[in-house]
Amino acid sequence: MVAQTPRLSHLLETSIYVADLDRAEAFYRRVLGLERFLRDDRMSALGLPGNAVLLLFAKGGSVEPTPTDGGGDIPPHDGGGSVHLCLAIPLGELARWEAHFEAQAVPVVSRITWPRGGTSLYIRDPDDSLLELATPGLWPSW
Amino acid sequence: MVAQTPRLSHLLETSIYVADLDRAEAFYRRVLGLERFLRDDRMSALGLPGNAVLLLFAKGGSVEPTPTDGGGDIPPHDGGGSVHLCLAIPLGELARWEAHFEAQAVPVVSRITWPRGGTSLYIRDPDDSLLELATPGLWPSW
């Protein structure tokens, strides 16, 4: 008898490790319109639609355990590079996003139409990470 | 007059850059029960509940543009480190996840109860990335 894996709800947090926290936070707030939930010297937490949170960490700032009020430490973590992240957008917002990126002087570095019908726009953040905005029609689930 | 930022739907894809794609994929399928959507030499795409996708990339395997069938290239990206990722779980599944990790011989490296009432379990993946499973009660939105 194989035990079933317990259930997951959804992807809650993902992290980007950045060289300059102020610069990265300013970009995500201005260009994507994200709401700040928390900010300190170590990190910025930005709310995303769909009950998720984008975590921006100062690179090298979380390599020691971080104590918490509730007892227990957040274990060390760190990362780097120009990573890839994708945000879903409604099909009806695609043209508005293209106009918005133009108005914000953020170049769209690639545009792809997928076999399932979705369209992706790619932009770069200040740390050269690759952000994709995608309409429905990429994956079996979406 | 300030133009409103266009709408986002949700966090669709996040990426981890791994040393051994087979090893990482086997871990995420076995321990988290994720479904494989796509697999090639460069990447593994694993479906997450909530219409999201976890992308595992072979480290250094996406540093050149990737051509697509739809016309347009996926621009280069890469990353590394022991990064942080969090998956939401229902409160009613917390005890089952703890039992599951024990049965799978996956050590829970930290356990935190947050001021808003949520509980987080932390484990390490084969690349030493820090995975958190969290019940509701971490953020203003969840």
- The pLDDT tens digits for A14-25 are 999 999 999 999
Q: Do domains B9-64 and B81-142 have the same CATH topology?
A: yes
Contact B87 A48 (CB under 8 A): no
Q: Spell out the domain ranges in chain B.
A: 9-64, 81-142
| ipTM for the complex shown | 0.96
Instruction: For residue B1, name the pLDDT band (cuts at 50, 70, 90).
Output: very low
Of B71, B88, B103, the CB nearest to A10: B88
Contact B81 A3 (CB under 8 A): no
**Cα A127 from Cα B4, distance rounded (Å):** 25
The CATH fold assigned to A9-62 is: 2,3-Dihydroxybiphenyl 1,2-Dioxygenase; domain 1 (3.10.180)
- The pLDDT tens digits for B96-137 are 999 999 999 999 999 999 999 999 999 999 999 999 999 999
- The pLDDT tens digits for A88-113 are 999 999 999 999 999 999 999 999 99
| Per-residue confidence (pLDDT) for residue B3, from 0 to 100 | 63
Of B72, B74, B100, the CB nearest to A6: B100
Q: What is the CATH number of domain B9-64?
A: 3.10.180.10
Neighbours of B73 (CB within 10 A): 14
Residues of A in contact with B70 (CB under 8 A): 112-115
Mean pLDDT of B46-55: 97
**First vs last Cα of chain A: how many Å apart?**
32
Q: What is the mean pLDDT of chain A?
A: 95
What are the CA-CA distances from residue A16 to residues A34, A84, B46, B73, B100 (Å)?
A: 15, 9, 20, 23, 29
Question: Helix, strand, or coil here: A16?
Answer: strand
C-alpha angle A55-A58-A59 in degrees, rounded to nearest 5:
110
The CATH fold assigned to A81-142 is: 2,3-Dihydroxybiphenyl 1,2-Dioxygenase; domain 1 (3.10.180)
